[in-house]
Amino acid sequence: METNEPIDRLEPEERALLDRFQQGEEGAFEELILPFETPIFNFGLRMCGNREDAQDVLQETFINAMRYLQGFRGEAKLRNWLFRIASSVCQKKHRRSKFAPERELSLTQFYDDGDGAEEFDVPDERRLPDAEVLGFELSDRLNLAVQGLPKKYRIVLLLRDVEGLSAKEVAEILAMSVPAVKSRLHRARLFVRQELKPYLTGRAAS
């Protein structure tokens, strides 16, 4: 028998806290949302490039979560729902980080047409190296390369390779098709690797 009831994607503990909040227990909001404070802040920091903007992203995300949580029914994972809000906040920010490159590096050779939904004959499924296990210098160069990406590529790269979300989850968060996500991710990875190549080649030679 088919049903039109939405699938509840919340964890049991999250569902209990959400029910308490929606029944008027304001303290349940903090218990429900605070576990995501650090991931959202770090996401904002990588997207915006400075701590002040990252703090703004965190604050605006939580304010919007408070505003809309009363009507949230658990149709999406809570983490993904919060990243959807944070992504929207990040995309509206225009101030350039003082640590970002003077110009936004060119992605001309990687630009897509339309929504970039074409498939690749040899898809590159390798994720970028984890900055936490790299040396400080290489980690800094990796972060600068990511900052050089236009936002529409950077946000896909961060959600997929840093936050570990699936292509389908990223597509849902950004209201894109899965092929478009894969296309932008492929180009973003190529671009970052190209930016790191001279440094890595130099280290290998030395």
Closest Cα to residue 105, out of 140, 146, 143? Answer: 146
pLDDT at 120 over 80: no
How far, in Å, CA of 120 to CA of 159, rounded?
21
Closest Cα to residue 83, out of 55, 102, 109, 64? Answer: 64
Helix (H) or strand (E) segment spanning residue 64: helix 51-68
Closest Cα to residue 111, out of 178, 177, 180? Answer: 180
- Residue 57 token pair: 């992203």
- Residues 78-108: tens digit of each pLDDT: 999 999 999 999 988 755 444 444 444 444 4
Average model confidence (pLDDT) across the chain: 82
Is 108-205 CATH 1.10.10.10?
A: yes
pLDDT at 5 over 60: no
Query: For residue 161, what is the DSSP state?
Result: I
Please compute the mean of the pLDDT values over residues 128-140 and round it to a whole number. 63
- Residue 63 token pair: 């304010």
CA distances from 78 to 35, 36, 151 (A): 11, 9, 23
Please compute the mean of the pLDDT values over residues 183-201 and round it to a whole number. 89
Contacts 24+ apart (CB under 8 A), 192-197: 192/128, 192/142, 192/145, 192/146, 192/149, 192/157, 193/128, 195/105, 195/141, 195/144, 195/145, 195/148, 196/138, 196/141, 196/142, 196/145
Counting residues of the chain whose pLDDT is more than 90, the rounded percentage is: 61
CA distances from 103 to 21, 96, 145, 150 (A): 45, 10, 12, 11
Domains 12-91 and 108-205 share a fold: no
Predicted TM-score (pTM) of the model is: 0.78
Q: Is the dihedral of CA 44, 49, 52, 56 positive or negative?
A: negative
Place of tokens 């227990």: 25
CATH of domain 12-91: 1.10.1740.10
Range with the poorest average pLDDT among 49-53, 159-163, 184-188, 194-198: 194-198
Range with the poorest average pLDDT among 35-49, 100-114, 139-153: 100-114
- Torsion angle of the four alpha carbons 9, 11, 16, 18, in this order, in degrees rounded to the nearest 10: -50
The CB density around residue 89, as the number of other CB atoms within 10 Å, is 22
Q: What are the domain boundaries of the chain? A: 12-91, 108-205
